[in-house]
Amino acid sequence: MKSLLSGESLVRRYGDVTALGGVSLELARGEILALGGPSGSGKTTLLAMLGGLETPTEGRVMLDGYDLYALSHAVRARVRGDRVGFVFQTHNLLSTLTAEENVMLAVQHGPNPTGDPRARARESLALLGVTHEAGRLPRALSLGQQQRVAIARALAAGPPVIIADEPTASLDSQSGAAVLDALKLAAQRGCAVLLATHDPRCLAIASRVVTLRDGRCEAPPAA
Ligand SMILES: Nc1ncnc2c1ncn2[C@@H]1O[C@H](COP(=O)(O)OP(=O)(O)OP(=O)(O)O)[C@@H](O)[C@H]1O
Ligand SMILES: [Mg+2]
């Protein structure tokens, strides 16, 4: 299968600290790749580089045929914005917009702004089990509900790649299960899903697990 996203020999140094010491991996459509490994092993750093948010010290990232860091900043931002939905550990919802408005905004600015944005937002919120919270501001939601809205927002825009850093870390088991179901569905629809996680429930839905240790792959991903 042709990969949609690949990192080639990625190195990231911060001064004397080598956060990543040469990692390569590929991700294809429909796949869920889970990145495991202890705290400080380089998971977030790798996600940021693969998602076009942080320039590698060495190596190359190819996203949908684009050599990401060979592009200008502006073009890279557009390529990323059209293709990657991010779910961060802290949810980053806009505090002055309701849950539904947060999701609608992502639909309207996403790669595929067709159809009724409100209907698409509601569908995505329903998928994550937060229909009743649609009209509330983020501060009136629990952390688990906020995270579910953030994931509804990432999925609603319909990006070909989802990158999620510890998407279930702050969630109770019911919210966690809703998030995992939504990520599985995204993969079934052909999305490539990349997650960093310590959570065995996340590892269980992965089609592949890569473990990082001290900035290197412990077991190289299968070809
Ligand atoms: N901006 C930065 N400046 C300096 N060092 C950094 C920076 N970002 C990350 N590091 C270092 O790089 C290494 C990898 O960090 P990273 O956040 O990628 O780990 P992680 O696997 O995501 O850990 P966790 O499971 O705790 O989230 C750590 O040693 C960290 O201190
Ligand atoms: Mg991290």
Domain regions of the chain by residue span = 3-217
Q: How many CB atoms lie within 10 A of CB 89?
A: 15
Non-local (6+) Cβ contacts of 15 within 8 A are none
CB 89 within 8 A of CB 165: yes
How many angstroms does the Cα of residue 184 sit away from the middle of ligand 2?
A: 22
Side by side, the strands of the sheet bearing 17-28 are: 17-28, 3-14, 58-63, 66-67
Q: Which segments of the chain have a pLDDT < 70?
A: 1, 90-91, 219-223
Q: What is the DSSP letter of 68?
A: G
- What is the structure's pLDDT at 220? 54
Report the separation in Å between the CA atom of 36 and the middle of ligand 2, taken as the mean of its atom positions: 10
The model carries a pTM of: 0.90
Ligand 2 center from residue 39 Cα (angstroms): 7
Q: Is 161 exposed, middle or buried (0-12, 13-18, 19+ CB in 10 A)?
A: buried
Alpha carbon of 55 to ligand 1 centroid (Å): 15
Over residues 69-115, the pLDDT tens digits come to 999 999 999 999 999 999 877 667 999 999 999 999 999 988 888 89
The closest residue, in CA terms, to atom 30 on ligand 1 is 40
**3-217 is a CATH 3.30.365.10 domain:** no
b/e sequence 40-55, b meaning 16+ C-beta within 10 Å:
ebbbbbbbbbbbbebe
192-196 and 32-36: which strand pairing? parallel
Mutate to test the pocket of ligand 1, among 45, 50, 165 (most ligand atoms within 8 A of CB): 45
Nearest CA to ligand 1 atom 29: 40
Atom 7, ligand 1: which residue's CA is nearest?
14
- The preferred substitution site among 41, 210, 213 for testing ligand 1, maximizing ligand atoms within 8 Å of CB, is 41
Coil, strand or helix at 190: coil
Give 124 Cα–ligand 1 centroid separation in angstroms: 32
Atom of ligand 1 nearest to the CA of 198: 25
Q: Which atom of ligand 1 is nearest to the CA of 41?
A: 21
Give the residues surrounding ligand 1 with Cβ less than 6 Å away: 14, 17, 19, 37, 39-45
- Predicted local distance difference test score (pLDDT) of residue 222: 56
- Bridge partner list, 161: 84, 192
- Report DSSP letters for 114-167, one per residue: -S-HHHHHHHHHHHTT-GGGTTS-GGGS-HHHHHHHHHHHHHHT--SEEEEEST
Question: Nearest-5° angle of CA 51, CA 52, CA 53?
Answer: 95
Distance 166 CA to ligand 1 centre (A): 14
pLDDT at 60: 98
Distance CA 196, CA 174 (A): 20
